[in-house]
Structure 1
Amino acid sequence: MAALLLIENNAGAGSDMGITFEELSQVRSLTDNPNKIGFCLDTCHAYASGIYTGDNWNELEEKGEELDYLPHLKAIHFNNSKYPFLSRKDRHANLLSGHIKKEQLQHLLASKKLKSIPFIVETPKDEGITHQSEIQWMKSSIE
C-alpha cells in the first residue's frame, strides 16, 4: 500500500491559501495522482480561519460531501483554539479550555460522517492537562 499525502487546512496566519474545502479539493483534483492525496482537518485551524463557527458543522459536512472533501478526509487533528473565531492565529488550546465550546466539540465527536476517521489529540502540554484525560473526556462524550 502506498502512502498518502495528507493536506491540512490552514488557519490563515500569513496566507489565505488552503483555508477552504473548495481550495483543498481543487488542489487535489488538479494533481496528476489525486488518489494519492487525502485531507487532515485541524479543528483549531478551521475555527481560526472562519470556516468552522462551532455551530455550523452540519453545513460543513454537506459542503464537504459536495466538494469531494469528506470522502478523502483521513485524519482529524482535534484541538481547541486559544484565540477567538476568525483570529487567523494558529494557537492550539486544550480541548476544554479554548474558545470552541465543549458542546460544539461533542457535536463533532458525535458526527456519523466522522465515526471511522481517527481523531488525533493535538493539544499543548503547558496547562497541566494530560492527553490521557482529554482522550478519556472524548470517550465519555461519545458513549
Structure 2
Amino acid sequence: MRPFGFHLSIAGGVYNACLTAGKMGISAFQFFSRNPRGWKSRVIPDDDVIRFKKLYKECAIKTSVIHTNYLINLASPDNELHQRSIKVLGDELETGKVLGIDYIVTHLGSHRGVGREKGLKNVLIGINRVLDVKSVDAYPVVLLENSAGAGNLVGNKMDELRWVMERVENRDLLGLCIDSAHAFGSGYDVRVKDGMDRIFNELGDCGDRVMLLHLNDSKVELGSNKDRHEHLGMGYIGRDGLRNFLLYPDVAELPVIMETPRDDRATDGDNLKVFLELIG
C-alpha cells in the first residue's frame, strides 16, 4: 500500500512524530522542524536524532517530510528576504540529511508586485544556490508545492512549476508536491479526469517529478485562488473528487500527506477512515 499519513507535531522531541505515527498506524508523516512563523532554527540534540532513527524503523515509517516555514519567499525581489529564505531552505536540507528525511516541501513565495517572470527567476536563482554541489545520495529531495494563487503568489500554475523544473541545474534533487486544495483553488478541477489531465499536460515531461501528494478538501469553490483546507469529504471537492485525485494513474502510488484542519468537527482518525475508504 502507498505510504500515507498526516502533518504531525514534534512538540517534546522530533522522535514524537514517529511515536504518534506508530500509534495511528500510518506510514508517512510531515512536520515543521522549526517554528513555522519564525526564522530561528531549532538545534536537534544528538540523542533525539538517534531516537528518531530508531523509532523510524520500529514504527515502519516509509516516507518522511519536512515542511519549510511560512516565511520563506524564494520569489521575493527583496534581497535580504531572498537571501534569508535561501539560508533557511539550506538549513532544512542539512536537518533532513541528519535525520534521514526523504523530502523537504517548500512554497515558491510571492513576487511582491515585480511580476511572475521576475519572481520565477528569483526562485530559480535560490533553488540553484541551495542545491549547488549537493549529492542526491546524501540529501532529501526539495519539492516545490503548488500554491492556490492568492495575491502575488507564484507556482499556482503548473507551467510555472515546469518552468523552474526545466531550468534547475541539479534536477535530481528537485521535485514537485501537488496539493489537491491548492490546485482546486487555482482552477484545476481535480474532481474529474479532465482536470487531472490538464495538470499533467501542463507539466509535460516534468510530470514524472511529482513525488508527493497533499490531500485536503477545500472550503472554497473552484478557481477561488484561496487556500482553505477542509476535512476530507466536507468541502467542495468531496469524496468522489478526492478519490479521482488519489487514483489518477500518474499519482496512484505516490505517498500522501493530509493537512486537514485542527477543530472539533473531525479528528485525524476520522480523516484517516475517509482516506482508507477512498482508496478502498
Residue segments in structure 2 that go unaligned for 5+ positions in a row: 1-136
1:109 corresponds to: 246
Displacement of 1:96 in angstroms is: 1.3
What TM-score comes out, normalization by structure 1 length? Answer: 0.88
Displacement of 1:127 in angstroms is: 4.1
2:178 corresponds to: 41
Alignment of 1:1-143 (within 5 A): 1=137, 2-15=139-152, 17-52=154-189, 54-55=191-192, 56-60=194-198, 62-63=200-201, 67-143=204-280
What TM-score comes out, normalization by structure 2 length? Answer: 0.47
Amino acid at match of 2:156: I
Bigger Rg, structure 1 or 2: 2
Residue segments in structure 1 that go unaligned for 5+ positions in a row: none
Structure 1 Cα separation of the partners of residues 221 and 252 of structure 2: 27
Displacement of 1:102 in angstroms is: 1.5
Amino acid at match of 1:60: R
Superposition RMSD in Å: 1.8
After the TM superposition, list the runs of 4 or more consecutive aligned residues in structure 1 that deviate by more than 4 angstroms: none
SS at match of 1:112: coil
Amino acid at match of 1:123: T
Specify which structure has the bigger relative contact order, considering alpha-carbon pairs within 8 angstroms and separated by 6 or more residues.
Answer: 1
Which deviates the most, 132-141 or 33-42? 132-141
SS at match of 2:240: helix
Displacement of 1:21 in angstroms is: 1.6
Q: How many residues align?
A: 142
Structure 1 Cα separation of the partners of residues 199 and 160 of structure 2: 16
Q: Deviations over 1:81-123 (max 9, x none)?
A: 1111111111111111111122111112222321221111111
